[in-house]
Amino acid sequence: MSPYDRAHVGSIIGGEGSWFTARLLRALDALLPYADSANQARLENAYPEEVAAYEAWYRGEVVPLITGDPVDAVLLAMARPRP
């Protein structure tokens, strides 16, 4: 999952993009709310980053970033409130 995708989950679910991860996030939006625990586990095993990003977005939390990714460090710094 790219840093762009992680930073724009909401707009991607809203229809932005036609690349694989964009389509996958929209599919997760359609499937996860109805998935039983076994099927949710299958999706998490197959697409761990995408499911984590979707679930964080769904709960209104900041989408998790990959530690050590320099692009994510910039996105994280931009997301922090300024004093």
pLDDT of residue 69: 58
> pLDDT tens-digit profile of 23-78?
999 999 999 999 999 999 999 999 999 999 899 888 887 655 555 555 555 555 55
- Please give the pLDDT value at position 35: 94
What is the pTM (predicted TM-score) of this model? 0.74
Residues in the chain: 83
Q: What is the DSSP string of 13-71?
A: HTT---SHHHHHHHHHHHHGGG--HHHHHHHHHH-HHHHHHHHHHHTTPPPP--TT-HH
Res 71: pLDDT:
56
Residue-level pLDDT at 62: 64
* Residue 50 near residue 25 (C-beta atoms within 8 A): yes
pLDDT score, position 82: 47
